[in-house]
Chain A
Amino acid sequence: MSAVESRTVQAGLGIRPQAGPARTSGRGGPARRVGDVVWGLVAVAVFAMSAFPVYWMINTSFLPNSAIRGEDIAFFPTPDLFTMRNYVSVITDESRAAFTPAMWNSIWVTTLTVFLAMILGFLASLALTRFKFKGRRTFILLILVVQMLPGEAMFISLFRIIDSWHMLNTVIGLVLVYLAGVLPFTIWTLRGFVNGVPAELEEAAMIDGCTKAGAFWRVTFPLLAPGLVATGVFALIQAWNEFILALIIMSRPESMTLPIWLRTFQQANEATNWGAMMAGSTLVALPVVIFFLFVQGRMTGGLVSGAVKG
């Protein structure tokens, strides 16, 4: 499961509104201006296409079933249509699966996974960048190869391990499995960031009287903050979105995580209630989307400061 969702971090690193694009010449001129209009239209079209499913999800989630199933398309939940019923029913309907415990489980699993992945990943990346030792190369190679394993084939063994430790249906059991899933990528990414902080900075601090550890803590660590954020986002997305392992390890209704909760709507025998499903999808997606918009700016700022670039 490791590498799949990792698109996240990478691109987070990618957005760098540095030195304006190479749009150096060719101001003015009617042809140019027509071109600008065309590109503007293309830009709006691109926005519309990439945002449409999100818009459609939110729109549907506020519509009553009559509007969802009507032959007329309701493009907007106008006041006469607007309803919170879908949200109320998915959150309060206890007959299927309860929302609140699932949300708390997801929050706990995600928080712990991110926290542990950061600590372990950070320590490991230090070992791999600031020291040279026998076995280092092998370790790096393994970290790389591990990401190509088909997780689906190992599910049963993971289940058996967690089971033998009597950790089924516990948050920590799921966290351990997720941790193993995200660690290789976390280490790999953090290693790049640590590499990017010149060791001379620490040496300079040591000359000023800091201990090796002190120099590291005061000088290098602050410079790594953006890297930690970026890597943390990856672990977060992974732990928040994963559902097959959760399905296997969390079999009790009270230990469900949000994606499993969402899946119970897909499996419902009685009705494909699209309004409720869209409300559920929105609830699962919303925290991630908000977090993304929020963190995006932070990471960009950190990267622009140039610390990582070296």
Chain B
Amino acid sequence: MKKIRVGGAVASVAVVALGLSACGGSAEPASEGPVTGDVRVWVVGGDTPEEARAFLKSTFEEQNPGSTLTIEEQAWDGLVDKYTTALSGSDAPDVVEIGNTQAAAFTSAGYFAEITGEQFEELGGDDLLPGFVEAGDWEGVHYALPYYSGSRVVFYSEQVLGGTEVPSTLDEYVATASSLKTADRSGIYWPGQDWYNALPFIWENGGFIAEPKDDGTWEAGFSSEGGLAGLEQIQEAFNTSNAPKDGQETDLQVPFCEGKVAFLSAPSWIQWGIKAEEDAEVPGCLATYGSDLKAFPLPGKDGGAAQVFAGGSNIAVAKNSPNPELAYKALQIMLSDEYQTMIAATGLIPAKVSLAGQVPQDDPIAAAGVEAAKTARLTPASPKWADVEAAGILQAAFTKIAAGQDVETIAKDLDTEIEKILNS
């Protein structure tokens, strides 16, 4: 293994030194036979289950003899920076996953290969999640298609809650959390940087993130009347949390498994972390607080499910993919019913509306996820929105709110920042 690596490095040095650039060798069409090559698929984070990864690789290699498929996992942190250069280069990956809110930054700049109307129909057409299709369109052309969606649900364990009733409105949710909070127990466990959890409060209180005005410029709405009301309530909710005020949404299962959390609002796949065995590599608490894990969709201001943030991913073929045809075939597999069913099995909402039933209905947590997804909303549809996220200003603002600073000042500053980026 080591030897081979070293040899490879030396060889590449030698090749370059001789001026024989190693470009595109693998993608060279071999006279008449089918195109072969190595297709690189970039998935982000751990949402894509192992089973689906294995299925993708084996199916692809079966269908395309002589070709291989490599899955390379990327981190969400710094993703936009990395894609900006990596996808524009000659050694670009073939198929990439991208956060739905980040897609516009790349579709608008020509980073993805066009998906023709015919291909679109072939891949699912109108069956594909509409909000996510829209997120991957640019000027009427499809570039990035839905991959999966996942809305957040609120986890709890009755061992912690005791006899307390599950709240049915947003105000009740905060009030219940407040009554359950002790020095050692969080009502709502909410690390300050986790801004996705904040959006429902804004929307439910009648606020908005940013909207286009008549003259085409964007107006941010955190300092609007509804926005401020939302932020006030967010601050109230933060007060019931013992989570680090500047914390990120990592390690969520740890405090939960210590029994120090009443409510945990998180993506539905967090359940696997909590329900892991105590002695697993990343330990969970199957025997204790994981044993009666339950979830409900975040309640709205007037009951029912709140409008939550529709998190999720899109998927696209890179414009500079060395093997566009093979890449498309990989994309086909990833949007196939079989593959998407595996995604659904983890509790994520699959890319196709018709497969929503595949999300295990007997599993109350997954059901809560489906319920929450029905009213889910997206972030502003601007190609520059990804830059707002990349700049980290939302994290910063909510960190300050968590720390108890003045809401109105923060809202005004935040709106100024957002408008500056969106209108630049």
A to B CB contacts below 8 Å, 15 in the list: A100-B1, A104-B9, A112-B13, A156-B85, A163-B89, A166-B22, A166-B91, A169-B91, A170-B13, A170-B16, A172-B16, A252-B91, A269-B46, A269-B77, A272-B251
Question: Which residues, 5 to 55 on B, are CB-close (under 8 Å) to A?
Answer: 5-6, 9, 12-13, 16-17, 21-24, 40, 45-46
B423 CB to nearest chain A CB (Å): 24
CA separation between A248 and B90, bound complex, in Å? 13
Total chain B interface residues with beta-carbon distance under 8 A: 36
A97 CB to nearest chain B CB (Å): 9
Is there contact, CB below 8 Å, between B77 and A267? Answer: yes
| 3 nearest A-B residue pairs (beta carbon) | A166-B23, A267-B75, A251-B86
Question: Which residues, 87 to 123 on A, are CB-close (under 8 Å) to B?
Answer: 89, 95-96, 100-101, 104-105, 108, 112
Q: Between A and B, how many residue pairs show CB distances below 8 Å?
A: 88
Q: Mark A256-270, 1 if CB is under 8 A from B, else 0.
A: 000000001011111
Q: Mark A162-191, 1 if CB is under 8 A from B, else 0.
A: 011111111111000000000000000000
Of listed A170, A172, A251, A266, residue having the most chain B CB within 10 A: A251
Question: Which residues, 146 to 173 on A, are CB-close (under 8 Å) to B?
Answer: 156, 159, 163-173
Is there contact, CB below 8 Å, between A269 and B1? Answer: no
Is there contact, CB below 8 Å, between A267 and B78? Answer: yes
Is there contact, CB below 8 Å, between B16 and A268? Answer: no
Quick check: is A295 within 8 A (CB to CB) of the other chain? no
CA separation between A132 and B5, bound complex, in Å? 46
B280 CB to nearest chain A CB (Å): 12
CA separation between A42 and B221, bound complex, in Å? 57
B227 CB to nearest chain A CB (Å): 29
Q: Is the interface of B mostly helix, strand, loop or mixed?
A: loop
A250 CB to nearest chain B CB (Å): 10
Q: Is the interface of A mostly helix, strand, loop or mixed?
A: helix
Contact-size category for A: 35 or more
A120 CB to nearest chain B CB (Å): 15
Q: Mark B80-98, 1 if CB is under 8 A from A, else 0.
A: 0010011011110100000
Quick check: is B273 within 8 A (CB to CB) of the other chain? yes
Given contacts A159-B89, A252-B72, A270-B273, contact A167 B16 (CB under 8 A): yes
User: Among A173, A266, A269, which residue has its beta carbon within 8 angstroms of that of B45?
Assistant: A269
Chain B positions within 8 Å of A, measured between CB atoms, are: 1-2, 5-6, 9, 12-13, 16-17, 21-24, 40, 45-46, 72-73, 75-78, 82, 85-86, 88-91, 93, 250-251, 254, 273, 281-282
Which residues of A are found within 8 Å of B88, using beta-carbon distances?
Answer: 163
User: Among B75, B78, B281, which residue has its beta carbon within 8 angstroms of that of A269?
Assistant: B75
CA separation between A100 and B76, bound complex, in Å? 24
Which residues of B are found within 8 Å of A140, using beta-carbon distances?
Answer: none
User: Among A101, A166, A269, A271, which residue has its beta carbon within 8 angstroms of that of B90?
Assistant: A166
Given contacts A108-B9, A267-B77, contact A168 B89 (CB under 8 A): yes
Is there contact, CB below 8 Å, between B77 and A271? Answer: no
Is there contact, CB below 8 Å, between A167 and B89? Answer: no
Which residues of A are found within 8 Å of B16, using beta-carbon distances?
Answer: 167, 170, 172-173
Given contacts A166-B21, A247-B82, A251-B82, contact A272 B91 (CB under 8 A): no
CA separation between A103 and B351, bound complex, in Å? 39
Quick check: is A192 within 8 A (CB to CB) of the other chain? no
Is there contact, CB below 8 Å, between A165 and B21? Answer: yes
